[in-house]
Amino acid sequence: MAGEATGTAARKAALDLMGEVLDEHRLLAEVLAKRLAPLAPEERARAQRLATLSLRVIDRSDRMLGPHLKKRPPARVLNLLRLGVAEICEDGAAAHGVVHALVEIAGANRKTAGMAGLVNAVLRKISGETAKWHMLPLPRLPKWLRKPLVDDYGKAVVAAIEAVQAASPPLDLTPKGDANALAERLGGRVLPTGSVRLDGRGQVSALAGFAEGDWWVQDAAAAIPARVLAARPGERVLDLCAAPGGKTMQLAAAGAEVTALDISPTRMGRVRENLERTGLKAELVTADALEYEGGPYDAILLDAPCSATGTIRRHPDLPYAKDGGDFPGLFELQEHLIDRALGMLKPGGRLVYCTCSLLIDEGEEQIRDARARHPGLVVDRAALDRPGIDPGWIGADGGLRLRPDYWAEVGGMDGFYVACLRLSE
């Protein structure tokens, strides 16, 4: 349970972040650095957590606020109220501290100062109604996404996914060394696939072993593709679309000679920082994957740009920043990237294709189409025989379909599709 607020800086930053997502339809990842730069590290972590929490429960917050609002207030005031409801009802923060801080924020802005009294009155009423909170329906995915998912998986599965996405996710770490020792050190648990899961919240950089590079943050599902690739010492491996570098570090830790490629200099900077912190090595290339000339490689990991619909559990801003309009372009890009990657493989080499998407079009359909374009291409189902992978997660096409409702009892996982492809020698 959260304690009383010690200041308003983190809340104000969280409010700004909510505005970027809800009013400007931008992803949090695009604006975090700019909005959080003035804050101290602990305030940055708090601001990001509060913004993410508020976006996750926005549907419930609006249901709580509805009876207390005669008309919809200006966007910033509404977001102030949503932030307050999320803290009081979902986070369990002391109401008087939350109300005081948010009234102060409202009063300090000339555009919202006249509604500080409304913020005070409404949130004080909400604080007396917290028992209603958990009786409210769980938030549902937006129609533009829910409909295709229901078509692919059915209503029951989608409802189970929504239930997992409604809760704040745990923190998963990929250890550089022994997973059991790390779990014991941090008070976490080792998941069947080898990731370490922590249930507590806090500043990541303050956790034991961060500065020493003993681990890195990586959702358990996101860690599976590199395990499926199973890089061996000395192999030449290409990590396409590598940023922020979690998979690059896995491959480097396995002893492979890794080339990490990404089109974004900024994102590649994060890969460099992560490698330096963990003491791992890889060749870094900033280039367009469709134009890069390299290889041939023993193995390639292609984590293709995608809709990221499998990550809403950790990124609840996505349904508000996207509307599905960019999907056709992503599908086409994925096709071109698969073809380009296959052209850089040695005969008999292996390509692991993955997307953090729940859409069949970005997974199973891509593999079906790739096999039609490349008659000698086979799906290596045996590559999925890895610790912790449930055979029931493997489809008839030989690919691995991961869903947020898997491991729901311990916090779920991101949605992913993973397939290992091999070229005939």
Mean pLDDT of 336-359: 96
In a domain, 158, yes or no: no
The single-letter DSSP state of residue 302 is E
- The torsion angles phi and psi of 371, rounded to 5 degrees, stand at -70, -30
| Structure tokens that stand for 70 in this block | 């005669």
Let me know whether 252 and 385 are in one domain.
yes
What average pLDDT does range 221-235 have in this prediction?
A: 98
Each residue's pLDDT tens digit, 83-138: 999 999 999 999 999 999 999 999 999 999 999 999 999 999 999 999 999 999 99
Query: What would you report as the CA-atom Rg of the chain, rounded to the nearest whole angstrom?
Result: 23
Judge whether 6 and 168 are in contact, CB under 8 Å. Answer: no
Residues 117 and 224 in one domain: no
Q: For tokens 């990731």, what's the residue? A: 195
For residues 333 and 240, membership in a common domain is answered with: yes
For 351, the enclosing helix (H) or strand (E) is: strand 345-355
Sequence letter at residue 101: A
Q: Is 356 a catalytic residue?
A: yes
| DSSP string over 99-112 | HHHHHHHHHTSTTT
- For 366-393, the pLDDT digits (tens) are 999 999 999 989 999 999 999 999 999 9
In the chain, count H helices and then E strands: 16, 12
125 and 226 share one domain:
no
- Is residue 3 over pLDDT 60? no
33: its two tokens: 């650095």
What is the average pLDDT across 225-249? 97
Among candidate residues 135, 162, 189, the one where a domain is terminated: 135
pTM of the predicted model as reported, rounded to 2 decimal places: 0.92
Distance (Å, rounded) from C-alpha 238 to C-alpha 341? 9
Question: The domain containing residue 309 runs over which residues?
Answer: 217-423
- Is the Cβ–Cβ distance between 192 and 388 less than 8 Å? yes
What token pair was written down for 159? 């409802």
Q: Is residue 142 part of a domain?
A: no
Neighbours of 219 (CB within 10 A): 26
The last residue of a domain, from among 79, 100, 135: 135
Q: What is the pLDDT of residues 275-313, one digit of tens each?
A: 999 999 999 999 999 999 998 999 999 999 999 999 999
> Residue 53: is its pLDDT beyond 70?
yes
Co-location of 222 and 131 in the same domain: no
**H/E stretch holding 215:** strand 215-217
> CATH number of the domain that 20 lies in?
1.10.940.10
Does 265 map to a domain? yes
Question: Is 181 a domain residue?
Answer: no
Q: What is the CATH number of the domain that holds 336?
A: 3.40.50.150
- What pLDDT does 7 receive? 62
Does some domain include residue 411?
yes
Q: How far apart are CA 68 and CA 139, in angstroms?
A: 20
* Residue 425 pLDDT grade (very low, low, confident, very high; cuts 50, 70, 90): low
Verify that 262 and 406 share a domain, yes or no. yes
Angstrom distance (rounded) from CA 283 to CA 131? 55
Asked if residue 207 has pLDDT above 90, the reply is yes
Question: Is 111 in the same domain as 241?
Answer: no
pLDDT band at 5 (very low <50, low <70, confident <90, very high): very low
At residue 8, the pLDDT reads 85
- As given in the structure block, the two tokens for residue 244 are 């922020």
4 or 169: whose pLDDT is higher? 169
Q: Is the pLDDT of residue 49 over 50?
A: yes
Q: Which residues face 378 on adjacent strands?
A: 422
Q: Residue 372: count other Cβ atoms within 10 Å of its Cβ.
A: 9
Question: What are the start-end ranges of the H helices in 262-388?
Answer: 265-278, 318-321, 327-342, 364-373
The verdict on 318 and 411 lying in the same domain is yes
**DSSP 3-state of 365:** helix
Average pLDDT taken over every residue of the chain: 94
- Here the tokens at position 50 are 């509060």
The reported pLDDT for the residue numbered 361 is 96
Q: Is the pLDDT of residue 2 over 60?
A: no
In whole angstroms, what is the distance from residue 204 CA to residue 284 CA? 25
From 35-39, 220-224, 368-372, the region with the lowest mean pLDDT: 35-39
Verify that 125 and 249 share a domain, yes or no. Answer: no
- Give 382's contacts (C-beta < 8 A, 6+ positions apart): none
Higher pLDDT, 257 or 4: 257
Q: Quick one: average pLDDT of 156-181? A: 96
Q: Which of 89, 306, 354, 356 is catalytic?
A: 356
**119 and 243 within one domain:** no
> Are residue 244 and residue 349 in the same domain, yes or no?
yes
229 in the same domain as 367: yes
Is residue 171 assigned to a domain?
no
pLDDT score at 119: 97
- Tell whether 259 is covered by a domain: yes
Compute the Cα dihedral for 331, 334, 339, 342 and give only its sign. negative
Domain end, chosen from 135, 153, 176, is at 135
- pLDDT above 90 covers what percent of the chain? 91
Number of domains in the chain: 2
Report if residue 163 sits inside a domain: no
